[in-house]
């Protein structure tokens, strides 16, 4: 591939990228620092084995990561987050795509009302229902369970996944399903064999957003979990409160670990993601 | 056995519509329709777009359900039966192949739905891909194939089945006429060899006439006429059919009736007619205005005919279409390709009594009148 020459027009883009990425860079560096280096002023930018008075260098350590994955009580929350985000994504994707398909294809009585009802749940600030949900969860024994979180996150994601998938299904001509009916398949078979494969970019885009939502959720997790089902965002915040002073090193390490899965997920699905987002704007 | 047995099963009838009608919202897509499709027949349905022919197709396929009336297929009432339970194969005009499947998987798709083993299905599919000379695409996805190749593959996907009824919704309309003709020739031969029943919906009247054992003409959701192409051409049921079937359509000349003579407006020619049985039954209503229909090939240039000025000559290859001015309208005729006529030149025309058809001036329906003689009036 031919490499593009630098043009001044890319300068603003570079500036914005630096601004967006600098906190991540700070996190990355801090996660390898010993406590004194984390708060040193001026900041120390490069790892190395230099004299402490040289303000540019700090001594690198993996201790923070050892803390996160070892004795720091963070492995459980990482697994909890992975488990909960995975199932919440899957459940909301499956139910959302079926609901979206129904809204796209069937002109049943009250279809518009149902559509706005589903969207309406999105208009509510999630925390508005935090107290009733918490009350409800403790009554039915879902407090501090991963299953409870999966249920809740699936429900929170459902409106988004339904609406997104409805849009993707609208783009698939009905003729394909009709051909499948004539070929001898039922509606459900046609859905799985003919319609769903054609909205894979849409499924990917929807699942990325669903995964991010469930992975990053903090407020509900904070109120609904205490020991067994604590998720990574809650744990990351708790690290800072583990001791009397803020332990920046372990905090940065845990935070970095917490952004890794969504980054990887998005990276590997970026091809579909882009197609999913542009679907409907570009016709074949 | 050709007569209906106790269950009403008629082996010679592949499909039957009884008073089937369909509306979409407030639009009438199909007025109550009775139609019988015989086993082994190739029926073509002809009409301009929006005439209800596609609705008819979708009703037969089970993609839509009639508001009223009943639908029978192979002796079974299928009125409320969904598409996957009907024994029907359909080729659409567009979006014919599944984009996520290879060409081969596309063709085996209907076979796999019926539980055929993969190897057997692939063998059959390859046979039909070879039949349409598209087997070299079998491992490719449809994206990137030409429209023509896609339609051939779609046709292979239909023919791979032994369906009780084959439905074609202008499957080859995107292809050039030469390819279309040769494809139809092969498809038709194959269907005839199987004794299969097929319905083709088209707005191309040449295709409809050439392919159909019978031709159904539709307009605004209403069946106008259903008969052999020759009958439809020779005795169109009304002025719409007369004009729509045949290229160019029938000349329709405004005329008046005086006693037993019909006088064409602004033309020094009159015809003596017998009204046949209808005339004997007539209850006093005197038909005044009527239309005389005559096919261009029956309008002949002959000495002693009525002279008309040439408006335009269109070269169409084997013959030239001659357009003559008559009042505000035109009379069309054919000129052998060697003969030259100039615009404004006067040409004497005439026709035989047996070639004339008469239509009601108000309803446009074909009348049972017969022309007995044609008289060119002198001194024009």
* Strand bridging mode A46-47 / B27-38: unpaired
- Inter-chain touch B100–A173, beta carbons under 8 Å: no
Closest by Cα among B27, B29, B20, B22 to B49: B29
- Inter-chain touch A184–B94, beta carbons under 8 Å: no
Partners of B114 on chain A (C-beta within 8 Å) are 184
Sequence-separated (6 or more) residues with CB below 8 Å from residue A266:
A208, A273
Q: What is the pLDDT of residue A44?
A: 77
The pLDDT tens digits of the residues spanning B11-40 come to 788 889 999 999 988 888 899 999 999 999
Q: Is any Cβ of chain B less than 8 angstroms from the Cβ of A194?
A: yes
**Residue ranges of chain A assigned to CATH 1.10.3720.10:** 74-278
- For chain B, the average pLDDT equals 87
ipTM above 0.90, yes or no: no
Pull the structure tokens for residue B179.
């390819």
Q: Is any Cβ of chain B less than 8 angstroms from the Cβ of A175?
A: yes
Nearest chain B residue to A178 by CA distance is B63
- Provide the strand spans (E) within chain A: 46-47, 57-58
The pLDDT tens digits of the residues spanning A140-195 come to 998 889 999 999 999 988 988 998 899 899 988 888 899 999 999 999 999 999 99
* DSSP structure class, residue B9: -
Pull the structure tokens for residue B11.
């082996």
Mark out the alpha helices in B132-161 (DSSP H runs).
147-159
Instruction: State the pLDDT confidence band at B66, using cuts at 50, 70 and 90.
Output: very high
Instruction: State the pLDDT confidence band at A280, using cuts at 50, 70 and 90.
Output: very low
Q: Is any Cβ of chain A less than 8 angstroms from the Cβ of B83?
A: yes
Domain topology for A74-278: MetI-like fold (1.10.3720)
Reported pTM: 0.78
Per the model's pLDDT, the better-predicted residue between B243 and A274 turns out to be: B243
Q: What is the pLDDT of residue A8?
A: 81
* Interface with chain B: mutation pick from A173, A176, A177, A184, highest number of B CBs within 10 Å: A184
- CA of A238 to nearest chain B CA: how many angstroms apart? 48
Q: What is the pLDDT of residue B6?
A: 47
Closest by Cα among B107, B116, B121 to B156: B107
* Interface with chain A: mutation pick from B62, B98, B107, highest number of A CBs within 10 Å: B98
Partners of A194 on chain B (C-beta within 8 Å) are 98, 100
- Provide the strand spans (E) within chain B: 13-24, 27-38, 42-46, 68-73, 76-77, 88-91, 165-169, 198-202, 214-219, 222-227, 251-258, 261-264, 269-274, 289-294, 300-315, 319-326, 329-336, 346-350, 357-360, 370-376
The pLDDT tens digits of the residues spanning A3-62 come to 666 778 888 989 999 999 999 988 888 888 887 777 777 777 777 766 566 667 777 788
CB B253 within 8 A of CB B327: no
Q: Is any Cβ of chain B less than 8 angstroms from the Cβ of A183?
A: yes
Q: What is the pLDDT of residue B240?
A: 93
Bond from prior residue into A107 cis (ω within 30 degrees of 0): no
């Amino acid at each position: 591939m031919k490499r593009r020459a630098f043009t001044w027009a890319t300068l603003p883009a570079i500036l914005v990228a630096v601004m967006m990425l600098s906190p991540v860079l700070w996190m990355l560096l801090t996660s390898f620092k010993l406590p004194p280096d984390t708060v040193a002023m001026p900041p120390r930018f490069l790892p190395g084995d230099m004299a402490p008075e040289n303000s540019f260098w700090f001594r690198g350590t993996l201790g923070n990561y050892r803390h996160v994955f070892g004795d720091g009580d963070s492995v459980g929350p990482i697994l909890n987050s992975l488990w909960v985000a995975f199932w919440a994504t899957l459940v909301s994707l499956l139910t959302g795509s079926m609901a979206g398909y129904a809204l796209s294809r069937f002109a049943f009585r009250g279809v518009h009302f149902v559509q706005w009802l589903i969207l309406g749940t999105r208009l509510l600030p999630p925390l508005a229902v935090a107290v009733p949900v918490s009350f409800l969860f403790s009554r039915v024994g879902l407090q501090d369970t991963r299953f409870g979180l999966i249920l809740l996150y699936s429900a929170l994601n459902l409106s988004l996944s339904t609406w997104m998938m409805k849009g993707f299904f609208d783009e698939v001509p009905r003729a394909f399903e009709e051909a499948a009916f004539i070929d001898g398949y039922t509606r459900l078979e046609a859905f799985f064999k003919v319609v769903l494969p054609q909205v894979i970019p849409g499924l990917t885009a929807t699942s990325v957003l669903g995964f991010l939502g469930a992975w990053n959720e903090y407020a509900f997790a904070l109120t609904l979990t205490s020991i067994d089902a604590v998720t990574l965002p809650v744990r990351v915040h708790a690290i800072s409160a583990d001791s009397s002073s803020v332990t920046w090193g372990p905090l940065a390490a845990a935070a970095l670990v917490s952004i890794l899965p969504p980054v990887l997920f998005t990276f590997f699905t970026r091809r579909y993601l882009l197609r999913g987002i542009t679907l409907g704007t570009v016709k074949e | 056995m050709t007569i209906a047995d106790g269950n009403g099963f008629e082996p010679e009838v592949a499909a039957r519509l009884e008073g089937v009608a369909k509306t979409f919202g407030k639009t009438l897509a199909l007025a109550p329709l009775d139609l019988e499709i015989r086993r082994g027949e190739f029926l073509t349905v002809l009409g301009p777009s929006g005439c209800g022919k596609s609705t008819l197709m979708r009703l037969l396929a089970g993609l839509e359900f009639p508001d009223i009336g009943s639908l029978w297929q192979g002796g079974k009432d299928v009125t409320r039966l969904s598409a996957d339970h009907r024994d029907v194969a359909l080729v659409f005009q567009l979006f014919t192949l599944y984009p996520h499947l290879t060409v081969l998987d596309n063709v085996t798709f209907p076979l796999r739905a019926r539980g055929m083993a993969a190897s057997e299905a692939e063998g059959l599919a390859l046979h039909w891909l070879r039949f349409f000379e598209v087997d070299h695409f079998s491992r490719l996805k449809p994206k990137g194939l030409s429209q023509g190749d896609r339609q051939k593959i779609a046709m292979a996907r239909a023919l791979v089945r032994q369906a009780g009824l084959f439905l074609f919704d202008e499957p080859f309309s995107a292809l050039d006429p030469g390819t279309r003709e040769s494809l139809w020739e092969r498809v038709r031969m194959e269907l005839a060899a199987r004794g299969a029943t097929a319905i083709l919906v088209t707005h191309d009247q040449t295709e409809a006439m050439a392919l159909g054992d019978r031709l159904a003409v539709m307009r605004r959701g209403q069946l106008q006429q259903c008969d052999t192409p020759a009958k439809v051409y020779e005795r169109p049921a009304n002025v719409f059919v007369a004009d729509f079937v045949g290229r160019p359509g029938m000349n329709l000349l405004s005329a008046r009736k005086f006693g037993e003579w019909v006088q064409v407006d602004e033309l020094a020619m009159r015809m003596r007619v017998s009204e046949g049985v209808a005339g004997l039954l007539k209850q006093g209503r005197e038909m005044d205005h009527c239309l005389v229909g005559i096919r261009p090939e029956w309008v002949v240039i002959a000495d002693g005919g009525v002279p008309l000025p040439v408006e335009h000559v269109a070269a169409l290859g084997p013959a030239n279409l001659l357009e003559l001015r008559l009042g505000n309208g035109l009379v069309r005729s054919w000129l052998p390709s060697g003969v030259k006529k100039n615009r404004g030149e006067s040409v004497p025309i005439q026709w035989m009594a047996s070639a004339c058809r008469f239509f009601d001036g108000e309803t446009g329906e074909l009348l049972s009148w017969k022309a007995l003689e044609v008289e060119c009036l002198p001194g024009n």
